[in-house]
A and B are shown apart, each in its own frame.
Chain A
Amino acid sequence: MRVEDREKQWRLLMLSANGGDAAAYRNLLLELTPALRAFARRGVARAGAALADAEDIVQETLLAVHLKRQTWDEEAPLSPWLFAIARHKLIDALRRRGRRIELSIDDFAESLPSAEAGSDSIVSDVKRHLEGLPPGQRKVVSCIAVEGVSIDEAASRLSMTNGAVRVALHRGLAALAAKFRSVES
């Protein structure tokens, strides 16, 4: 798929997602992930960091894309916004790991994602941060994440109200993103 088509498709999905279409949003995240993964891997390789770190950076970037999605201007193209976030998170992560590099978005924005195997391996950061969340948030986030259930389903499984699950999920994700940030080494 050409870069322009990709952009058009992402934009449409994001617009539907902002209009409340949850399936479109899920699709978008699944579509973005390989591109973000290619971006993170190239950045990590350039900085001479361990390739295993790339997936942590992808997850951190996905969280940031989600929690900051209101900052995308619907009139503007999606890719520059997306890769600005990816670049910010990549540099931040590398800096925390004690490396300083300069990256230009132009190096990456045109690169098409490569579908690679082994990309979904279990990684450490999110798992560790998840364990540091308050029990309520942790239960809700892991139930929905690992079992892949909906909010309603999670509410009945955990015998919580729908609203409580919704709030715990949002707070849990925000807390996860904050935990990534607070790791200073």
Chain B
Amino acid sequence: MKTSELINAISEDREMPLAPGRALCLALLPGLAIAIALFSARLGLRPHFMSLLADPRFSLKLLVCYLLAALAGLFVLRLFRPGGSWRGAVLLLALPPALLGVGVIVELFVVSPADWERTMIGHNAMFCLKSIPLLGVAPLIAILVALRNGAPERPAVAGAGAGLFAGAIGAALYASHCPDDSPLFVAVWYPIAIAFLTALGAVLGARLLRW
């Protein structure tokens, strides 16, 4: 077929694919619904959730998780578009860890060294490691499905971005259940769980996001 003939066919096709933002929102709706249903069924909000918001450790934990989810979402949106720069979005992603880092430093001053280890290990580290990926799986699938509509220049990076976003969503949900609020706990266990989903996303993305 000649190139001019191909252009004949292409220019008659008026079907406009979904815009990246809409594609991401539409895919995330069921993904989030599944994650929230799973959260309500298996975990549930902590008792006295509203009054706990006044606690600086608890609110810092939530803030870091929600901020990470929002910034990772922006990062993923950039990944839909080829030729755009996503390096600025990557720099922004350093903000939540930096915030948590400040929390860790303050905590190290406030808590006596004898209690550091106990605070870091917390009550249920293994449960945290299991729950965040579990809550993040449905959002991860949803984000990957949405990204197939995009044109990511590096499929593995896009998959990793999807995993990070999903991990942040899982962490944000889990944070409203977990009784361990210390930045020491959050800085050790949450990143391991999120990194697992990020790596899973990178592996899946390299296969699924080629275009």
Contact = CB atoms under 8 A, between A and B. Distances in A.
A81 B1 contact: no
A170 B15 contact: yes
Interface string A165-179: 011011011000100
A142 B5 CA distance: 8
A69 B10 CA distance: 12
Interface stretch (A4-12, A43-51, A120-128): A120-128
B147 to A, nearest CB: 11
B12 A146 contact: no
B81 A81 contact: yes
B2 interface: yes
A84 B7 contact: no
A101 interface: no
Interface residues of B, number: 31
A72 B10 contact: no
Contact of A84 (B2, B3, B83): B83
Interface string A142-158: 10111010110010000
A85 B82 contact: yes
Given A64-B151, A70-B17, A29 B82 contact: no
A78 to B, nearest CB: 9
A146 B1 contact: yes
A2 B151 CA distance: 28
Given A68-B151, A81-B81, A84-B83, A146 B211 contact: no
Nearest to B6: A59
A72 B81 contact: yes
A32 to B, nearest CB: 9
A80 B149 CA distance: 19
B107 interface: no
Contacts of B51: none
Nearest to A129: B1
Nearest to A56: B3
Given A22-B14, A73-B84, A30 B8 contact: no
Report, as a range, how many residues of chain A touch the other chain: 35 or more
A151 B13 CA distance: 8
B205 interface: no
Nearest to B7: A29
B13 A173 contact: yes
A126 B1 contact: yes
B10 A173 contact: yes
Contacts of B118: none
A58 to B, nearest CB: 6
13 contacts: A22-B14, A29-B11, A58-B3, A62-B10, A66-B10, A66-B13, A68-B151, A68-B211, A70-B18, A73-B84, A166-B14, A169-B9, A169-B12
Interface of A: 18, 20, 22, 25-26, 29-30, 33, 37, 55, 58-59, 62-64, 66-73, 76, 80-85, 88, 105, 119-123, 126-127, 130, 141-142, 144-146, 148, 150-151, 154, 166-167, 169-170, 172-173, 177, 181
The 3 closest A-B pairs by CB, nearest first: A84-B83, A84-B82, A80-B83
Interface of B: 1-20, 80-84, 149-151, 153, 210-211
Given A67-B17, A126-B6, A173-B10, 12 more contacts: A22-B12, A26-B7, A33-B3, A62-B7, A69-B17, A123-B1, A146-B5, A148-B8, A150-B12, A166-B13, A172-B9, A177-B211
